[in-house]
Amino acid sequence: MKYTIEHEREDDGRWLAEVPELPGALAYGATANEAMANAEILALRVIAERLEHNEAGPQPISIAITAA
């Protein structure tokens, strides 16, 4: 499965990054890179939890970073 990280700057200056394929997987950061890294970490944790609980079978993973 392919996962995409989208990011955008909020009005207050913080950066928000999310993984649309994983509902609720979003993270903030002081910079775009920090927000994207936090979102990637969260996405990998969600995927690991799903595998541990047999909610998803093993699949090839591809993570792409795109600008919102």
pLDDT digits 0-9 by tens, 24-57: 899 999 999 999 999 999 999 998 888 888 876 6
- Cα 67 from Cα 49, distance rounded (Å): 27
Percent of the chain exceeding pLDDT 70 equals 81
Nearest to 7 by CA among 29, 41, 52, 46: 29
Assign 65 a pLDDT band (cuts: 50, 70, 90).
low
Quick one: pLDDT at residue 12? 96
Is residue 21 scored above 60 in pLDDT? yes
Taking the model in full, what pTM does it have?
0.78
Determine the topology of domain 2-67 in CATH.
Answer: TTHA1013/TTHA0281-like (3.30.2390)
